[in-house]
Structures are given as C-alpha cells and as structure tokens.
Amino acid sequence: MASERGSRSASSPLPTTVVIRRPRAPPPPRSDQSTATRSFPRFITAKALEESGYLVGDSFSLRCDVAVVKDIRTEDDATTVKKLVGVPPPSDIGAHLGRLLAAGHGADVAIHVCGETFEAHRCVLAAQSPVFMAELFGPMAMSRHNNEETIRVHDMEPRVFEAMLHFIYNDSLPEVDDDDDGEVAAMAQHLLVAADSDQSTATRSFPRFITAKALEESGYLVGDSFSLRCDVAVVKDIRTEDDATTVKKLVGVPLPSDIGAHLGRLLAAGHGADVAIHVGGETFAAHRCVLAARSPVFMAELFGPMAMSRHNNEETIRVHDMEPRVFEAMLHFIYNDSLPEVDDDGEVAAMAQHLLVAADRYDMGRLKLICEDTLCSHVDASTAATALTLAEQHHCERLKEACFKFMENPSNLKAVMASDDFLHLTRSCSSLLKKLAKLAA
C-alpha cells in the first residue's frame, strides 16, 4: 500500500487516502524486537475489502491519533528511577468484556427472559456461573438439540436479568439513581435471589431436564445409580448484639474481583474453546470472544474485515515471530489479568522484555505498562542497552528515562557500553546517539 498524508495539526485526526495494490510479503523487521513485527501473514483480500463497506470509490480513510508529549522529566534526584516504577492501572478486563457485550461481536447464545431476548457469549456465562456451565457445557447440554443455541430463564424479570448480565461481563452493577433508595433496595433484593440461583441450590430447577440417554452416556451413572454431593453449613453462634452499630458492622467490604480467576479456570479446562492458535510448533486452545475483548488486534483478526478473508471453516490463527512460552504468558494475562509466577529474577526481566513487544503488537495497554514498570525496576549493566532499545522502539518514555538515569553514572555507562547489546542499540536507534554521546563526553 502507498499512502499520502497532508500536513495537519498534531491534535486532530489525520485522514489518509490509500491506493490499493496487490499485497506483497512484508519486509523483514529491522530487529527481532521492533515494531515491524506488526505485519500479518494473512492480509485482507481485495474482495473482502471491497465488500466490507470501508472502500469508497478507489480509496478508504485511515485515522491516526498523535499524542504530543509537552513535558519531559529531568529530575536529578537519586530516587528518580524508583519513582518511575509506578502502580499499574486497575484491572480493565471487566470494561473490555462489557464493551464486547454491548457490541455483540461473536455472541453465540440467545437468552429468552419473559418476552425479551439477550445476546451473550457461552464461554463468559459459563466462566462466571456454575449453573450456566452445567447448562451450556455439562450433561444438560447433551440433551439439547444440536442447533438450539437458546436458553430460557423463568421466574425473573428482564430488567433484573439485564442487571445480572451487566455484572457477569463488567464485574460491576449498572448505575442506579442514588436519589431513589427504594429502587436500589428493590433491585438488590431481586439480584440477591438471582445470584443465589446462579451459585447455590435455591432455584436450580430447569424446564429442560437431562434425558436418560444423556445421563447414561455422561459417566455419572454407575450401575443403576449416581451420587449427589450435599454441602451443609452449620452456624454455631448467632449474633445477638444490641449495639446500635450492629447493622452497619454487618455491611462488609465486597470481595475483590474474581472475574480473572473465573476466566483463568475456563482457559485451563478448555470448555467451549473455539479457536486454535499455532505458535512455533505448539497449539493453544482459546475462546474467540475473550481474545477479541482483550485485544483490538484479535478483534480485527477474528471479527473484523480480516476475518472475512479467511476460509469459513478455518478456526485457526498462526502467530509468527513469538516464542510459545511468551505467547502462553500473554494468554495467561488475557484470561487472568495477571502474569504467571516466575521464580528466577533474571527470567522476570527477560520475560518482561518479550511481553512488552507482544503487548505493543497486540495493543494491550495495561500489559505493556506492567512490563515497562517491571523493566524500570530491573535496569542494570546487563539489561540497560536492551531495555533502552525496546523503550525507543515501543515508545516507553518512563523506561527510557530510567535507562538514561542509570547511565548518568560514568561507571554504569562504561559497563553498559561494554555489553554485547550496546552495539545493537547504536545501530537500531540512531535517534539516541546524540544523547549517548553527551553522556560519554
């Protein structure tokens, strides 16, 4: 593709006219960790582009958002590097899934509630509720018709189910006017019943029962019987305080979000996995809607125009220029919203370097910031050159500042210049040569 850009203000989007040419193989990357690896081996075809609606006449527009950094930190304080290690932003997995629910991309189940229908994703429902897990992937699912992708919910108002669905995806309740305490209390009452029916034995009766044939084939039936497990909670002490603050004491702090743990268990179990990802000879099973919710690149690959150019029955993705162990760690973060534990401190820095590149490639901002913070706290003579290269190529200003702060010490700079990675730094990041020369002077 060839593009023409007009001169415009940095604060406004830059519309770009693009002329379509036959796709060619992408050029080799400048280095194994540069932004050049953002090219994809599977491009959108001309036919798919023409049918996508983005092509008007012989051109389409690209929007480019330019961020202008006005102030650069130049503190000489000895604690600058420590200050650069910030607190990672709060979890955004709920917001990502909430946007997926609102957009409806990849919805694969319809839920009928008293005359209203809600579109949702089977794997998200199953991850968040054991009842939905049994309904969608357990023995009960075996008794349903193969092509029937619907669930009917009885004895619940649509507005209550909608609020519960909002919580399932966003891990937070929808906003209710604070002035209407009656509505807040009424909705809480309904949701308490709904939450209990999703996680306890209160209302687990279903209009569609498991058939005898499905039960016989499920493995639960041994001979002519099967076992039921009943968990009984015994309350020994009853609170009878007369203190006026008793009611207030009973209102506890909500538990921390468990949506990441739920999705992590779903990934480990593999229930409902609908896409295979091939990475360096290894294959990982995952869920299209979760990948798309967490990464705009996966969204384009799985549900955008790029998906139109794939074969209808091809439920595979091939990831190039990434080690399987790095992709596995990124996949762990996509589902759990946390990184897997690593014991070796040196391995922590090495994995953070690889994941920083992967996060930038798949536009995962929170993961990128976490990796940047990790690298800021691991800057030393052996890592500074590589860290500075990554900071320049992937626009990590705090990491760049931490590296330069470390090299302000002449002995540190000398050790970095003697490292094997310093030559690669000078060759791949010519924009830094002037500042490096100033430090060496």
> pLDDT digit string (tens) for 272-302?
999 999 999 999 999 999 999 999 999 999 9
Taking the mean position of all CA atoms in its chain, how far away is CA 197?
A: 28
Q: What is the CA radius of gyration of the chain?
A: 27
Mean pLDDT of the region 195-208 = 48
Taking the mean position of all CA atoms in its chain, how far away is CA 42?
A: 22
Among 76, 35, 88, which residue's Cα sits nearest to residue 401? 76
Each residue's pLDDT tens digit, 38-94: 334 445 677 777 777 677 777 877 766 554 544 434 344 334 444 555 566 788 999
Which stretch of 241-245, 270-274, 277-281, 321-325 has the lowest confidence by average pLDDT? 241-245
Question: What is the DSSP pairing of strand 116-120 with strand 109-113?
Answer: antiparallel
* Cα gap 113→363, rounded to integer Å: 37
**Which is more confidently placed, 178 or 260?**
260
Type of residue at 97? L
Instruction: Using the predicted structure, report yes or no on whether residue 107 has a pLDDT greater than 60.
Output: yes
Instruction: Using the predicted structure, report yes or no on whether residue 423 has a pLDDT greater than 50.
Output: yes
Instruction: Using the predicted structure, report yes or no on whether residue 160 has a pLDDT greater than 80.
Output: yes
The full set of domain ranges for the chain reads 94-237
Instruction: Using the predicted structure, report yes or no on whether residue 312 has a pLDDT greater than 60.
Output: no
Tokens for 69, please give them: 């950094």
Instruction: Using the predicted structure, report yes or no on whether residue 1 has a pLDDT greater than 70.
Output: no
In the chain, pLDDT over 70 holds for what percent of residues?
70
Q: Is 268 left (phi over 0), alpha (psi -120 to 50) or beta?
A: alpha
Which stretch of 211-220, 329-338, 370-379, 383-392 has the lowest confidence by average pLDDT? 211-220
- Relative orientation angle of helices 365-376 and 384-393, to the nearest 10 degrees: 150
Mean pLDDT of the region 187-204 = 67
Model pLDDT, residue 142: 55
Model pLDDT, residue 202: 32
**Which is more confidently placed, 263 or 316?**
263
Using the CB atoms, write b or e for 157-175: b if 16+ within 10 Å: ebebbebbbbbbbbbeeee
SS3 338: coil
Confidence of residue 198 (pLDDT cuts 50, 70, 90): low
Confidence of residue 13 (pLDDT cuts 50, 70, 90): very low
Model pLDDT, residue 316: 87
| Domain 94-237: assigned CATH number | 3.30.710.10
* Cα gap 214→211, rounded to integer Å: 5
Which stretch of 52-66, 95-109, 129-143, 386-400 has the lowest confidence by average pLDDT? 52-66
Q: Is 188 left (phi over 0), alpha (psi -120 to 50) or beta?
A: alpha
Instruction: Using the predicted structure, report yes or no on whether residue 304 has a pLDDT greater than 80.
Output: yes
Confidence of residue 252 (pLDDT cuts 50, 70, 90): low
Model pLDDT, residue 412: 93
pTM higher than 0.85: no
Confidence of residue 335 (pLDDT cuts 50, 70, 90): very high
